[in-house]
Amino acid sequence: KNMASKVSLVLRPVKSIVVRFCPFEPNVESTRKFLQSIYHKKIQATNTNCEVTADVRHDGSEPVVDVKFADGDRLIMKGAHLTTGEMLTALASRCNAKDLKEEQKSKRKNP
């Protein structure tokens, strides 16, 4: 929850986030922390249309975060060997880049 308040994550360009993990595996801590920080009210407030789904399995599979953006892009992060901070910063950088692109596009359209 501390990381969520530090990282400025704007979820506007994100359509849906699916977090898939198997809770009985030992390598899911960072993915679970990522899920917890995604549900922080500050981040949820940036985009209420974003659907966050948690898929809990028991097949020993790797923890995966699947992010689908509004313009069709997909970001797949395998959380087995990533830290929460890395995942959050990766997502934040891509979200900000897309946001900037959209702002530039809208500026060009309406000068």
- Which H/E stretch holds residue 17? strand 14-21
Of residues 45 and 72, the one with the C-beta less far from other proteins: 45
Q: Which of 32, 64, 70, 99 binds other proteins (CB under 8 A)?
A: 32
Question: Does 26 engage in binding with other proteins (CB under 8 A)?
Answer: yes
Q: Which of 8, 36, 49, 104 binds other proteins (CB under 8 A)?
A: 36
- Which H/E stretch holds residue 75? strand 74-78
DSSP 105: H
104 residue type, one letter: Q
Question: Does 98 engage in binding with other proteins (CB under 8 A)?
Answer: no
Question: Does 101 engage in binding with other proteins (CB under 8 A)?
Answer: no
CA 2 to chain centre: 16
d(C-alpha 3, C-alpha 50), whole Å: 20
Residue burial 80-96, b: 16+ Cβ < 10 Å; e: rest: bebebeebbeebbebbe
Q: Which of 12, 20, 25, 68 binds other proteins (CB under 8 A)?
A: 25
Of residues 49 and 93, the one with the C-beta less far from other proteins: 49
Question: Does 33 engage in binding with other proteins (CB under 8 A)?
Answer: yes
| Residues engaged in binding other proteins (CB under 8 A) | 1, 23-26, 28-29, 32-33, 35-36, 38-41, 52-54, 56-58
